[in-house]
Amino acid sequence: MSDERRAERARARRQWPVVRGRVDDQTSELLLDVPPARRVAMVWALTVDAWALRGEAIPDYARGEAPGRVVRPGER
C-alpha cells in the first residue's frame, strides 16, 4: 500500500465514531448488563464474521509471529 493511500485511510478513520473503555468500566450504559466474558465472546463472533466476509480462514500462528507494527504517539 502506498504512503498516500495509507494516509488517506488514516484520515478517513479519524471520522469513525469510537467509544473507548475498559472491560471493567461500569459507566457505559451500552454494556452495563454485559459481563466481561460475554464482551470478549462478542468480539470473537465479530472476528469470525469479518474473516468469513473476507473469504479467508482465520490465521493460525504464534502471537509473536503476528504481523503488525507499533506506532507510538508522535511517530509516523
Angstrom distance (rounded) from CA 45 to CA 24: 20
Q: What is the pLDDT of residue 52?
A: 94
pLDDT tens, position by position, 45-66: 999 999 999 999 998 889 889 8
Query: Cβ neighbours of residue 24 under 8 Å, at least 6 residues apart?
Result: 36
Q: What is the pLDDT of residue 18?
A: 79
Q: What is the pLDDT of residue 7?
A: 92
Q: What is the pLDDT of residue 8?
A: 93
Residue pair 49/56 in contact (Cβ under 8 Å)? The answer is: no
Identify the segments of the chain with pLDDT beneath 70: 23-28, 30-31, 76
Domain ranges of the chain: 28-66
Q: What is the pLDDT of residue 35?
A: 84
